[in-house]
Amino acid sequence: MSVHQVTVSAPVNIAVVKYWGKRDTALLLPTNSSLSLTLSQDDLRSTTTVRIDPKFEADRLWLNGKEEDVTSNKRMVNVVRELRALRKSLQDADSALPVIDSWRMHVCSENNFPTAAGLASSASGFAALTFGIAQALDIAERIPRAQLSRLARLGSGSACRSLFGGFVAWNMGSAADGNDSVAEQVADESHWADMEALILVASDARKDTPSTAGMQLTVETSALLQSRIKDVVPKRMEEMRAAIAAKDYDAFAELTMKDSNQFHAVCLDTFPPISYMNDVSRAVVHLITSYNALFTQPGAAGGPKKGYRAAYTFDAGPNAVLYVRREHVAEVLAIVNAVFPVPTTDREAYLGRAAQYVGKEDVAGVASLVKKIGMAPFAAGSLRRIISTSVGDGPRVLGWGAENSLLGENGLPKTTA
């Protein structure tokens, strides 16, 4: 075979113990461990086709239909170089393996969610890239997945978590070369099968501080970050692992919300301060807090309250991700829709797959809850859309050769922007 071509997809992940701050900005080594849930690629994914071909003259990269200067993207260069080096070491050890590490490659990648959705695409993007190149070089199944996770980390820190499905911990590690700073699967996607996610995409005209710059400003200027790193996260990681192992939603929900709050607290303690949450985000927090309060009772001494129905978490932007058990999704969605009315036009695009839950709720019960919560409805358009999804698997091979390929026979993208 003189050409190796593969098309893969990789998932988005949303952390419940947040990554914010690097101790090494070249190797992308974090100041604390983190833990995320991998979201289903049926709903959100980066798709990447990689072709290596002895006839190609140079590496080329297209992202969302637009060619990028591959040499100026240092992180991309690092990932590709390391993958080729891995291939070479395998070739050197086994003369039966064809010598393909020197072949140039064409990489074409796209996200099925618009950047305007406000979802970070670097994690799924670099996971797909790393997984795709590793498959094209025929090394993905010859090395531990943790190795691929390490390489994806060199592209984008949180990408290392998107190499696994289910519940994924990124252990910060301690080695200077970062070899132990990799993700591991805490539980697979079937472990807690009724865990769903609702993403409330908030409208926001303000341009956010990019997370790469923002997190280092926090490392440099926040007086409180060190306390989070040393005093809070190590314990929280253990508690979150235990909550997931036990499928203890109350513990999971409370830890998730507290960690989101604290991430945004250290952003605010940065100088100049960074604010990712806006008034719509604050209203979602208030809504979920008030809703949960209708059901929760004090837990055992020191433990979380009992009876949580929804847990919010916010990444570096105003969008809320709600982790909700399937039995409560219809109710949570109905309550969200009561405060953030579904637009009468574009209803289908706004709700997407969430439409399946509309009409499934106890309408009288929801009306009573909404009345108790007592929030005035926001103007239509405060939310831009709702994405309903679940916990899903790790990267997938979608096909070899022409199957599902983003590249045409000529090795160029089938579609360009």
Q: What residues line the site for a second copy (CB under 8 A)?
A: 205-206, 223-224, 226-228, 231-232, 254, 257-258, 261-262, 264-266, 268-273, 275, 277-279, 282, 285-286, 289, 376
Q: Which residues contact 268 (CB under 8 A, 6 or more apart)?
A: 274, 275
Distance of closest approach, residue 236 Cβ to a second copy, in angstroms:
9
Closest separation in Å from C-beta 230 to a second copy: 9
Q: Which is nearer to a second copy, 222 or 389 (CB)?
A: 222
Minimum Å gap between C-beta 336 and a second copy is 17
Q: DSSP letters of 220-263? A: HH-SSHHHIIIIIHHHHHHHHHHHHHTT-HHHHHHHHHHHHHHH
Rounded to a whole number of angstroms, the minimum distance from the CB of residue 204 to a second copy is: 9
Contact 289, 279 (CB under 8 A): no
Q: Which is nearer to a second copy, 24 or 271 (CB)?
A: 271
Q: Of 196, 168, 146, 198, which Cα lies nearest the Cα of 36?
A: 168
Two tokens at 124?
């799924």
Closer residue to a second copy (CB): 176 or 205: 205
Least distance CB 290 / a second copy (angstroms): 9
Q: How far is the CB of 338 from a second copy (least distance, A)?
A: 18
* 281: helix, strand or coil: helix
Residue 152: which of 173, 178, 176 has the closest Cα? Answer: 178
In this structure, which amino acid lies at residue 105?
A: M
Pair of tokens at residue 247? 């499928």
Facing residues of 195 across strands? 325
Nearer to a second copy, 177 or 279 (CB): 279
Who contacts 111 (Cβ-Cβ below 8 Å, separation ≥6)?
44, 45, 46, 47, 64, 121, 124, 125
CB of 273 to a second copy, least distance (A): 4
- Quick check: 172 and 33 in contact, CB under 8 A? yes
- Smallest gap from Cβ 123 to a second copy, in A, equals 24
Angle between helices 249-268 and 233-245 (to 10 degrees): 150
**Least CB distance to a second copy at residue 221 (A):** 8
What is the closest distance, in whole angstroms, from the C-beta atom of residue 174 to a second copy in the complex?
23
Residue 231: beta bridge partners?
A: none
284 and 278 Cβ atoms separated by less than 8 Å? no
The closest alpha carbon to 324, from 198, 210, 168, belongs to 198
Q: Between residues 19 and 263, which has the closer beta carbon with respect to a second copy? A: 263
CB nearer to a second copy: give 70 or 265: 265
Q: Are strands 22-24 and 383-390 parallel, antiparallel or unpaired?
A: unpaired
| Pick 130 or 256: Cβ nearer a second copy | 256
- Interatomic CA distance for residues 407 and 268, integer angstroms: 44
Core vs surface per residue 334-361: b (16+ CB within 10 A) or e:
bbbbbbbebeeeeeeebbeebeebeeeb
Cα–Cα dist 161/315, whole Å: 15
- Judged by CB, which is closer to a second copy: 7, or 281? 281
Tokens 């795709």 locate to 132
Nearer to a second copy by Cβ, of 181 and 262: the residue is 262
Residue 206 or residue 360: which is nearer to a second copy going by CB? 206
